[in-house]
Amino acid sequence: MMFLRLIIIASVVVLTIDLSGFIKSLKSFISLKLTKNKIDSNSFSIKPFDCSYCMTFWCGLLYTIVSGEFTLVNLLWVCLIPFFTDVIRQSLLLIKDTLNKLIDKYYELLIDKTR
């Protein structure tokens, strides 16, 4: 069960950091605030907040400690799951692209039947 919860945490982190664009917006906001609206850049790092690998590790570690389930096996999962954040990202994009393709095909069928 802990494995599934850690996968869910990793998926949320990947969605937030890699796929949503939130981190780019945050870095632009920080850049504008620090330079008094003179420079709008997101070409700097605010680790661990812009690294899904790092955030997955730290969020997973924090979750296991706070939930009182810190064991050697759970620590192993916390260390292994971040290694697969790029696979999670690609899988989420594949699901999205597949659904978009299915919708496009359905739309084409629907349009062809109405003509």
Confidence of residue 18 (pLDDT cuts 50, 70, 90): very high
Q: pLDDT digits over 83-102, tens only?
A: 999 999 999 999 999 999 99
Query: Mean pLDDT across the chain, nearest whole number?
Result: 92
Residue 56 or residue 40, greater confidence: 56
pTM: 0.83
Burial 2-41 (b: 16+ CB within 10 A, else e): beebbbebbbebbeebbeeeebeeebeeebeeeeeeeeee
Residue 114 confidence (pLDDT) = 62
Q: Whole domain around residue 110: which residue ranges?
A: 2-114
Mean pLDDT is lowest, of 2-6, 32-36, 63-67, 69-73, for 32-36
Query: What is the residue whose two structure tokens read 């008094």?
Result: 36
Domain count, the chain: 1
What's the gap between Cα 95 and its chain centre? 14
Rounded CA separation 31/61 (Å)? 30
Confidence of residue 115 (pLDDT cuts 50, 70, 90): low
Rounded CA separation 54/8 (Å)? 15
Torsion of CA 55, 59, 62, 68, to 10 degrees: -150
